[in-house]
Amino acid sequence: MTQSSSQFSAATPRSIPFLVPTLSRQSVLFMIGSALFVLGSAINIWHLGNAAASNLACFIGAIFFTAAGLYQLVLSGDAVVRVDYAPGKMFRAEWVAAATQSFGTIMFNISTSAALQAKSVDAEKHLVWNPDAGGSVAFLISAVFVYVAYYRSRGTLWEPRRSGFWAAHINMIGCLAFAVSAVGSFVLNNGASKDSDLANWGTLIGAVCFFLASMISLPALGWNRRTAAADAR
């Protein structure tokens, strides 16, 4: 016996924890992804393994990044807000920041996936470096809109007593470091990176920054609980 779609939609779906986006889960996913990118770059910097091990760590890390990015996009809320001037609505900075960051994580997924099997210089250039550079640009755009969203919400960019202030600035440093890494990893015609040290250190610093920005955003931290309580008064 078949059931109509209305019968399925009438019932409340059973809760599946990993399908329920929360800020805590988003932060933890970004932290895990960041830690794996730290591992991937550390393998190259300190010769802890071969390129395959480094690429695998970054590939897995990018999956966690993408999951976190999707959580962030859902949690960011509506894409547009109504305004009292033409055309009557405007994209919300929070949503633009989340959307561009989510797009960037997908680009990193493409890049790290290709890195596992790239066998030619053309593949390194077009399937590995191009998406990596695109993801880095998307992260930079996202970081700018994080500032816009923060300023619109708080009326200032200087609030050192709030975790959001530190998360926004540390995130920007991380995005800049990833951009530097993309420059260093540009693939030359002989298949070598333009500056492998710059690429590896940029990735390491950026990943550490993303880990810290996500960690200090955890709602369970006393700092954030006190801030939330103060805002609720």
Q: Is there a contact between 138 and 101 (Cβ–Cβ < 8 Å)?
A: yes
Res 224: pLDDT: 87
What is the C-alpha to C-alpha distance for residues 209 and 203, in angstroms, rounded to an integer? 10
- Report if residue 5 sits inside a domain: no
- Report if residue 2 sits inside a domain: no
| Residue 82 bridge partners (DSSP) | 89
Q: What torsion, rounded to 10 degrees, do the Cα atoms 214, 219, 225, 227 define?
A: 50
What is the C-alpha to C-alpha distance for residues 189 and 231, in angstroms, rounded to an integer? 55
Res 8: pLDDT: 45
The pTM is what? Answer: 0.91
Indicate the number of domains in the chain: 1
- Report if residue 7 sits inside a domain: no
- Report if residue 103 sits inside a domain: yes
Helix/strand/coil percent split, the chain, to 5: 70, 5, 25
- H or E, element range at 144: helix 130-154
- Report if residue 80 sits inside a domain: yes
| Model confidence pLDDT, tens digit, residues 29-68 | 999 999 999 999 999 999 999 999 999 999 999 999 999 9
Domain that residue 66 falls in: 20-232
Res 17: pLDDT: 79
Q: Which residues in the chain come in under a pLDDT of 70? A: 1-13
* Angular region, 174: left φ>0, alpha ψ -120 to 50, beta rest: alpha
Neighbours of 25 (CB within 10 A): 16
- Report if residue 28 sits inside a domain: yes
- Report if residue 196 sits inside a domain: yes
- Report if residue 214 sits inside a domain: yes
